[in-house]
Structure 1
């Protein structure tokens, strides 16, 4: 009974995250979808205490992002996301820190569209 209920909650959260991502700009949506998909796959067989933490953090993420992507909030703040508490870094594994760094690089590198120069007509 518990396993079936747990699986149902995980699926609902997974679908919710992808629904919330629809409000993001296309580049962020692709990156967010890929990241969420990968993280859920990685934690598919984690132990119950890790699963509880994992689901709590992803639920908080979905709620925060849903609030930030409401049209009225976007007009007021024009901001999506929030800064990571530096104290959380002390609790991350080397693998998590490397993954966070890769995510930071992907989010801050200029898109290819801005690098394209208009062609001159002769």
Structure 2
């Protein structure tokens, strides 16, 4: 992701307009740092692996809209982690309907992995 492309497009939602988008590398580092301080130890490896895989998969993207959407969603995630609201998060039917079949598959795999981790603790 080229940081210069991030500056071309502004976020659509007014609540996001107050906070400018972080550059990809700073956002990535901030998320991993938040994981260290805010996530339970048993969830941290899963979170770190997912963040690393997503940023690696999108690092060569040149589409400004995809870049801004990607960074906006990850910045929202960072705010949720920092604010502690991630524990209360639930996906609504509308959120799931917006997802592609691949995203639904990834979500299912994530659910299975978190259940497996939960069973190992018991």
Cα RMSD after superposing both structures = 2.0
Structure 2 counterpart of 1:120? none
- Runs of 5+ consecutive residues of structure 2 not aligned to the other structure: 7-21
Offset, 1:11: 0.4
Q: Which has the larger radius of gyration?
A: 1
Give the Cα–Cα distance (whole angstroms) in 1 for the partners of residues 101 and 113 of structure 2: 18
SS at match of 2:42: helix
Structure 1 counterpart of 2:40? 25
TM-score, normalised on structure 1?
A: 0.74
TM-score, normalised on structure 2?
A: 0.74
Higher RCO, Cα 8 Å, sep 6+? 2
**8 Å contact from structure 1 (residues 10, 55) kept in 2:** yes
- Runs of 5+ consecutive residues of structure 1 not aligned to the other structure: 70-78, 115-122
Could you list the runs of 4 or more consecutive aligned residues of structure 1 that deviate by over 4 angstroms after TM superposition?
A: none
Count of equivalent residues: 102
